[in-house]
Structure 1
């Protein structure tokens, strides 16, 4: 990652990750520019995402034997028995989310569009650590493929208990001169796929007792950045969709939330955008860039029973940058 100190040991049973594919928002949709405020793509490795699964029995908790399963040993909530679909999970944030769900014991569907080899690598990594995963391809700019993806994910294990809408694009372009086609290219993936995948997943979850949906938004949903007008507008729409869906799907036992990351590190980011990285690290009370697993941990929490009374909420994961005054 891009901070000076080595990554934290997330899991005693884990190991350092590799083969990240260099995109702060982890999309598999092509030429996104790779970070919240800058614009360099990068092909990287050594994500340093600790994972691993556990199989032991926990100590007593006052009512007999304690919890078993991966989550209790990884420090995460135990999601054994859950089946989660993570869109855009071949690299970047999506990869981190998928690995953290697997570390918590969930079976994970790893979606990709063009990153088949990277998606297979994520599946292999999860299986090596004792987990269960499946790679599925779909073009989420096409409504029918969104519905097919959800149906295939649910068919794999006979249910779908959680959806993370992570796939997205992040091009940079001046608003002056931007065409409607340019605007729609961002909205189709960042907004319309969220609508279609959530709608399809809600139908499945309603028939199996409910579930959770989490959208990956951005702090740019309410803090615009230059050259990101279409991106910022799309993420604002995602946050409001989560709140609206929470209102309407609550009666079906479905919780819907969003997670808004700040700047997430990737290999090569400090070289591509050194001034921006320095500014971010100076502005963040936490003193570092985010890591994909920071976002993954937030998603695991929101999908867990610990968040059973949380819905319609936007969870900001930005190291405290949003607490800074802008004047």
Structure 2
């Protein structure tokens, strides 16, 4: 590894598994001390932290309910107290249920939107304030989705929330830029996870038939994008949405 994030401290939300785990591992591989947030997946997040420490890195697990604004502030404060500073935040925590729009209740809509958006708002606000006070700025990256641009059936609440995440990154980049804080988003396509091929065989096959690069994404692919955006290589990049989907979004829809 090239040590792109050597000496930096990062906070990754939703690091209990999947994409969050992949992002945390890539940050650690590039030299960052990583604060791993989870809500309920404490054991899984702990296993990832242990893996980072065994490889010679620094990692710690923090538990918080990110739909509560005060919990977002507490999480960021705890991460700073542990790491001594905060250079990068990756807002990855979220949910992706499947439910037809016609029968969806307002409560279910709000549950998904609040889970996927409230933490982005709260954690970004708290982190940007810390980064401004450090005088050296920092990087915030939201994990959105290609469904922010091309919604799927049964994902109206999810797609709308991820479109809002992309818009928030652009708005935050505009307002926090004067503080030296860069804010971007990453929009992954279908990322491989354990059991996916069995649970959604038809969908995986359709994806593989459509994707120009011929495979599903890996959590490390998303991690690579987040590492780039947090590094000095992206020092003049803010307010952008980096699509990481193997090229599937360029496939014609007709």
Match status 1:238 vs 2:160: no
Q: How does 1:29-178 map to 2 (within 5 A)?
A: 71-72=1-2, 77-178=3-104
Equivalent residue number for residue 317 of structure 1: 244
1:155-206 residue CA offsets vs partner (Å, 9 max, x unmatched): 1122100000000001111111211111110111101110010000000000
In 1, Cα distance between equivalents of 2:103 and 2:246: 35
* 3-state DSSP of counterpart to 1:256: strand
- TM-score (norm: length of structure 1): 0.76
2:225 to 295, 298, 319: 298
In 2, Cα distance between equivalents of 1:269 and 1:177: 26
- TM-score (norm: length of structure 2): 0.98
In 2, Cα distance between equivalents of 1:115 and 1:267: 16
* 3-state DSSP of counterpart to 2:60: strand
Equivalent residue number for residue 65 of structure 1: none
Equivalent residue number for residue 132 of structure 2: 206
* 3-state DSSP of counterpart to 2:142: strand
In 2, Cα distance between equivalents of 1:177 and 1:90: 31
Q: Which of the two has higher C-alpha Rg?
A: 1
The two structures, once aligned, show a CA RMSD in angstroms of 0.8
In 1, Cα distance between equivalents of 2:33 and 2:83: 9
* 3-state DSSP of counterpart to 1:282: helix
* 3-state DSSP of counterpart to 1:224: coil
Match status 1:225 vs 2:119: no
Which has a greater percent of helix? Answer: 2
In 1, Cα distance between equivalents of 2:196 and 2:115: 24
* 3-state DSSP of counterpart to 1:315: strand
Moved over 4 A (4+): none
Gaps of 5+ in 2: none
In 2, Cα distance between equivalents of 1:187 and 1:143: 14
In 1, Cα distance between equivalents of 2:161 and 2:4: 33
* 3-state DSSP of counterpart to 1:285: coil
In 1, Cα distance between equivalents of 2:158 and 2:4: 34
* 3-state DSSP of counterpart to 2:107: helix
In 1, Cα distance between equivalents of 2:245 and 2:118: 25
1:261-310 residue CA offsets vs partner (Å, 9 max, x unmatched): 00001111111111111111111111000000000000000000000010
* 3-state DSSP of counterpart to 1:299: helix
